[in-house]
Structure 1
Amino acid sequence: MLEDHLRRQDGVVTLAQARRSGLSEDAVRHRVSAGLWRRCGPGVYFADDRPFTPAARIRAAVWSRGHRAAASGLAAAWWLGLTVTVPDVVEITVPRNSHGRAAPGTRVRRRDLAEVDVVEHRSLRVTAPALTVIEAAVSPGGGAAIMDTALQRRVELPALERAHDRNRGRRGSTASRQLLDAAAGGARSEAERLIIRLLTQAGITGWRANFPVGNYVVDVAFPAQRVAIEIDGWAFHSDQAAFQNDRTRQNRLALQGWQVLRFTWLDLTQHPSRVLAQVRAAISAR
Structure 2
Amino acid sequence: MPQVVDVLLRREGMATFGELRAVVSGRSIRAALSAGSIRRIAKGVYALPAAPDPIAAARAQGGLVSHVSAAVLHGFDVLKLPDKPQVTVPRGQHRRLSPLNCELHWADDVPADGPCTSRLQTVLDCARTLPFASGLTIADSALRGRLLDRSRLMAAAAALTGPGCRRARRVAAAADGRAESPLESALRAILIEAGIPGFEPQVVVRDGGFSARIDLANAALMIALEADSFAHHGTRLALTRDCRRHVSLTVRGWQLLRFSWEDVMFDPTWVVHAIRAAVAGSAGHHNVSLAPTGTLAAAERTHL
TM range (shorter): 0.3 to 0.5
TM normalised by structure 1 equals 0.47
User: Greater CA radius of gyration, 1 or 2?
Assistant: 1
TM normalised by structure 2 equals 0.44
